[in-house]
Amino acid sequence: MRDKSYQALVIGASAGGINAIASLLSGLSTRFTIPIMIVQHRLPVLNLFLTQYWDEAGIFQTKEADDKDSLQSGIAYIAPPNYHLLVEQDKTLSLSIDPKICYARPSIDVLFETASDAYQAHLIGVILTGANNDGTAGLRRIKAHGGLTIAQEPNTAEASTMPQSAINSGAIDKILPLTSIASFLNNLL
């Protein structure tokens, strides 16, 4: 694992995710300089408040992703409510209003799968609390491409279904309590 250089981190969360994401971001160190992309289901229409909340939690600048943003280190990009977030081969972002997938737009699978195509073995995927199984297909793709997959330990999750579904599918490399994910990530870089 150590001989690999990770170039991007994707995070997916649903019910209970707003606090879980803040807690994860606040634990990351200044050495953690790769771009971060986040899908959180069912955000309120305007998440200025939220970007601020997450901004203050971590050392990152958090930003609602705009179409064709090029990914920069030290920035956490959040999928805008009602748009899917996709990663292009040239490491820029795209948005789409394609139909919802499993009732979700943004969909965690759409971000994870496209990010995995763009970053292949250099991607880390983290699935946090949630009450559905979005993200599982995406994590399988990340694993198949040789990336690193992490699930929040279901009994530390406000809603355990989402991480449990990923674990059951066999796509997960590492199961960690929420409070240990950040320090584990810090040690990877």
Partner 1 sequence: MNTVETEQLEIKLLLEALYHRYGYDFRQYSQASIKRRVLHYLSKTNHDAISALIPSLLYDEKSFKSFLFCVSVTVTEMFRDPWFYDTLQKEVFPFLKTYPFINIWHAGCATGEEVYSLAILLKESNLYDRAHIYATDFNDRALQKAKDRIYPLERMKDYSTNYQKSGGKFSLSDYYHAQYDAVIFDAALQKNITFANHNLATDGVFSEMHLVLCRNVLIYFNRDLQNRVLSIFRDSLCYNGFLCLGSKETLDFSGVRNSFIEVARKERIYQHKNDRGRLER
Q: Does 99 bind partner 1 (CB under 8 A)?
A: yes
Report the site for partner 1 in 132-151 (rule: CB under 8 A). Answer: 145
Q: Does 164 bind partner 1 (CB under 8 A)?
A: no
Report the site for partner 1 in 59-78 (rule: CB under 8 A). Answer: 66-68
Supply φ then ψ for residue 146, to 5 degrees: 85, 15
Q: Ramachandran region of residue 172, left (φ > 0), alpha (ψ -120 to 50) or beta?
A: beta
90 is catalytic: no
Run of H or E residues at 2: none
Q: Does 108 bind partner 1 (CB under 8 A)?
A: no
Nearest CA among 19, 21, 1, 26 for reference residue 10? 21
Among 88, 91, 169, 188, binds partner 1 (CB under 8 A): 88
**Distance in angstroms between the alpha carbons of the first and the last residue of the chain:** 11
Q: Is the peptide bond before 106 cis (omega within 30 degrees of 0)?
A: yes
Half-sphere exposure at residue 97, Cβ-oriented, CA atoms within 13 angstroms? 2
Q: Please give the structure tokens belonging to residue 137.
A: 């297909």
Q: Which is nearer to partner 1, 56 or 67 (CB)?
A: 67
Rounded to whole angstroms, the Cα distance separating 148 from 3 reads: 13
41 is catalytic: yes
Q: Which is nearer to partner 1, 60 or 83 (CB)?
A: 83
Q: Which stretch binds partner 1 (CB under 8 A): 2-10, 110-118, 126-134, 159-167?
A: 110-118
Number of residues that bind partner 1 (CB under 8 A): 22
Among 120, 132, 161, 186, binds partner 1 (CB under 8 A): 120
Packing angle between helix 161-168 and helix 136-144, nearest 10 degrees?
40
Site string for partner 1, 6-45 (x = CB under 8 A): ----------------------------------------
Binding residues for partner 1, rule: CB under 8 A, are 66-68, 80, 83, 86-89, 94-99, 110, 113-114, 117-118, 120, 145
